[in-house]
Structure 1
């Protein structure tokens, strides 16, 4: 289920990226946006996307930890602590 959600999100992101690039090219062709402004805009979007990706990864990890705790599953740390005893 989580894989499907991630794949759906990635697919949407790729589609959005392609559409944004197409629109930027159209604006450049019409002379409404310079190459430098387009490059800066794309770089800003890329940076923001990477930041959002990190936030999502963190949220997924936290959610998984909660599920593991609720289910009472042993973690690597739990198993290592038992091995040490």
Structure 2
């Protein structure tokens, strides 16, 4: 009986130690998966930012072209048009002062 109780005790202790080892391994694997997931997420973020930055100038050019087309279609005055009108007004004022009107 004593041997049976002793074996049962060692069986219990051994089972607990084996369970602890398996739990430790599972915890380590879980940490590893988390770290890999974090690293992959960071790599994806960095790649997306780099891609966005490289495409920024192309996108900006496309938007500018589209806006120029819309402004032209609507017949809106551009900076160049307004500058030309200002120059013409200044010329007319100078002529007006010159002729004393």
* TM-score bracket for the superposition, by shorter chain length: 0.3 to 0.5
Bigger Rg, which one: 2
- Normalized against structure 1, the TM-score is what? 0.48
- Normalized against structure 2, the TM-score is what? 0.42
Higher RCO, Cα 8 Å, sep 6+: 1
